Amino acid sequence: MDTNLLHIFIDVVNSGSFANAAKKRLVDPSSISRSVAMLENHLGACLFHRTTRKITLTEAGEIYLKRIEPICDELARAKEDINLAQQQLKGCIRFSTSVAFGQTCIIPLMSEFKKLYPDLEVDIRLDDRNLDLIDEQLDFAIRLNKTADNRFIRSRVRTSNYRVCATPDYVTHHPSIEIPDDITKHQLIVFNLPNYKSKWGFKNDRGDIKDVAVKGKMTMSNALAIRDCTLQGLGVSLMADWLVDEDIASGKLIHLMPEYQVSADNFDTAIWIVYPERAFLPTKTRVTIDFIKERLLA
């Protein structure tokens, strides 16, 4: 039997429809339907309940999936092991991250990555939405929030801290900012998310938290734009360390009230890598994740 039929069956199960499986494989949905029909004919059993709105596994389909999925994973693992032994890591790695994090922290790594793996195609989706890994056929995603979805594995890369920042010139020509309530007297540049544009939380070294209501004079949906406006001296903003620490080190920005932890969401802010839960993680995915983790922790 053609093992490709098994992979097509698994693709249909994971994607939820013949159409989605066809989209993933770049083929006509009718070819997927024919392949499943061939498999069902070979087995002498119906694998899917089909309606005009959705498909679900039959009891026979559930039994078959449970048996063949580990086998298909092992076949893929064997192929990956051979490719790795021959130093031929090929294919396409596809992942997503936010626009600002991608441009600031991931794109600068690509020159080194491509030198290490020249035959591996890279497809990076820079998008401030949390794209669905299954619908968008992503191998993994880099997230700045802890995704609550049991379909995926979450791996914490490192903590992300937030800084209240302004330029030296702005600080010189405006009232001093020494305690959290002082920010209410200033021109604030805020991110267009519910918490970020309504309140900032400040935690002192004793663990006491003070929430301060904020109202932005400028509201933006892109962290890079907020950074640019802050560097122009247009006001005070709350930005992640990975975005502004170089500006602080160079003296372009001042880190205000560094004795406080600051957050607009919660104080467990971090960078996460998220990938579909599966028994076998392809070598191309594992190698790319390991590379990114190592560089972000350096």
pLDDT digits (tens, 9 = 90+) for 165-203: 999 999 999 999 999 999 999 999 999 988 889 999 999
Whole-number mean pLDDT of the chain?
90
For the cut 60, the answer to whether the pLDDT of residue 87 exceeds it is no
Please give the CATH number for the structural domain made up of 162-263.
Answer: 3.40.190.290
Using CA atoms of 140, 142, 148, 153 in order, give the dihedral in degrees to the nearest 10: 40
Q: With CA atoms as reference, report the closest residue to 269 among 103, 105, 146.
A: 146
Is the CB of residue 238 less than 8 Å from the CB of residue 190? yes
- Bridge-based pairing of strands 209-213 and 261-263 is unpaired
What pLDDT score does 212 carry? Answer: 96
Helix (H, G, I), strand (E, B) or coil at 257: coil
For the cut 70, the answer to whether the pLDDT of residue 93 exceeds it is yes
State both tokens at 104.
């600031």
What pLDDT score does 25 carry? Answer: 87
Q: 210: which strand partners?
A: 202
Please say whether the structural domain 91-155+270-297 has been given the CATH code 3.40.50.720.
no
Domain-by-domain residue ranges, the chain? 3-85, 91-155+270-297, 162-263
| Domains 3-85 and 162-263 fall in the same CATH topology | no
- pTM tops 0.75, yes or no: no
State both tokens at 191.
């991110």
Q: Which 8-state DSSP code applies to residue 181?
A: G
Is the CB of residue 106 less than 8 Å from the CB of residue 142? yes
Q: So what CATH class is 3-85?
A: mainly alpha
